[in-house]
Amino acid sequence: MSQLLSGQVALVTGAAAGIGRATAQAFAREGIKVVVSDVDAQGGEATVELIRAAGGEATFIRCDVTRDAEVQALVAGTVAAYGRLDYAFNNAGIEIEQGKLADGQESEFDAIIGVNVKGVWLCMKHQIPVMLAQGGGAIVNTASVAGLGAAPKMSIYAASKHAVIGLTKSAAIEYAKKKVRINAVCPAVIDTDMFRRAYEVDPKKAEFAAAMHPVGRVGKVEEIASAVLYLCSDNAGFTTGIALPVDGGATAI
């Protein structure tokens, strides 16, 4: 068992599809009430319907995580809906750029850093006070294996994920004695809509992606969800400030 407490409350950003949707569903299966958030209202509502159809409890709140007022409203709306906030999975992110650093565009930089870094910072900024007031909580941020090393032709994305890990570790130390645990999960290539869009254009990318993992395949969204639930659970009660690779052995090479 994951040792999450049934009846508690989780907030998942970027939950309209992929890893976010799978994690929202995984929380709900544990009896957790889930606030699903995304800029994609249609996808977010679809996630809520999937949770409710399976007997879970969920509600959707639209939020652009780059806007402070919207993030503040998201966290306040979570507390208004369910009375508390026990777990947060700050997963909202945007796709990588495809090109060498000198070919990058300022608009790409602003967009990627805005969502992937500022978005995580704003979410924690508003989630942590709620958790402090209620006596504790657990936060997991989505980083990437690209945040653990070099990532040629995706330097802006890599920089954003290095920054997520820096935010995670720093905040974890700041609040370690306040019973707010903060960790990051670092997926490698995962079978999501984003991944499928890439390999539908070039099928060789799928073969390359599988080969870059020693296990010989890309990851599943459910495998990332399981890692997130572990990091939120009491089983990880002595774990804070880590960046956990879930990568089929890719970073072990």
At 205, the pLDDT band (50, 70, 90 cuts) reads confident
The answer to whether the CB of 13 falls within 8 A of the CB of 89 is yes
CATH number of the CATH domain containing 113: 3.40.50.720
Alpha-carbon distance 86 to 103, whole Å? 42
- Sign of the C-alpha dihedral computed for residues 11, 17, 23 and 28 taken in this order: positive
Residue 208 in tokens: 């390359």
Alpha-carbon distance 123 to 74, whole Å? 9
pLDDT surpassing 90 at residue 194:
no
Check residues 201 and 235 and name the one with the higher pLDDT: 235
Checking 66-75 for CB contacts under 8 A at 24+ apart, the result is 66/114, 66/115, 66/118, 66/119, 66/122, 67/122, 68/122, 71/119, 71/122, 71/123, 71/125, 71/126, 72/126, 74/11, 74/13, 74/35, 74/37, 74/126, 75/11, 75/123, 75/126, 75/127, 75/130
Amino acid at 17: A
The answer to whether the CB of 230 falls within 8 A of the CB of 236 is yes
- Has residue 100 been placed in a domain? yes
Alpha-carbon distance 11 to 27, whole Å? 10
**What average pLDDT does the segment 184-207 reach?**
81
- Has residue 74 been placed in a domain? yes
| Predicted pLDDT of residue 1 | 44
- Has residue 196 been placed in a domain? no
Active site residues: 157
At 9, the pLDDT band (50, 70, 90 cuts) reads very high
Alpha-carbon distance 42 to 92, whole Å? 16
The answer to whether the CB of 92 falls within 8 A of the CB of 65 is yes
| Predicted pLDDT of residue 133 | 98
- Has residue 185 been placed in a domain? yes
At 58, the pLDDT band (50, 70, 90 cuts) reads very high
Of 118-122, 152-156, 204-208, 227-231, the one with minimum mean pLDDT is: 204-208
- Has residue 179 been placed in a domain? yes
- Has residue 165 been placed in a domain? yes
Domain extent, residue 152, equals 9-189+220-247
**What average pLDDT does the segment 58-78 reach?**
98
| Predicted pLDDT of residue 2 | 61
The answer to whether the CB of 228 falls within 8 A of the CB of 138 is no
- Has residue 177 been placed in a domain? yes
| Predicted pLDDT of residue 198 | 64
Number of domains in the chain: 1
